[in-house]
Amino acid sequence: MGRSLTAKMGWTATRVEAVKESGGRRIAIGHVGADLFVRTAYQPQNWPHRISVFTHDGEPKDVAEEELLPQDVAGPLCFSGD
């Protein structure tokens, strides 16, 4: 039970600081650490998160389906014990 009561609550905001490509994969780097997404960091296939993209004005970014590209999202790997 527990998680089913709170699984869809809350939100996190960050901005993309850099975009790079490594090993043929596009990576967006922001200031959201794995400490906020511990389950996703260790088991991404079981704990996915939806990610929405907004313009600098806070409007949802409108992109045509054919322009969508797979994108990894990375950030600092900070835990309270670090």
Query: Kind of pairing, strands 25-29 and 18-22?
Result: antiparallel
- Residue 52: helix, strand or coil by DSSP? coil
- Whether the CB-CB separation of 72 and 27 falls below 8 Å is answered with yes
What is the pLDDT of the chain when averaged over all its residues?
A: 78
pTM for the structure as a whole: 0.62
Task: Give 37-47 pLDDT, tens digit per residue.
Answer: 777 778 878 87
| Gap between the terminal Cα atoms of the chain | 30
- Residue 75: helix, strand or coil by DSSP? coil
Amino acid identity at 75: G
Residue 79 pLDDT exceeds 60: no
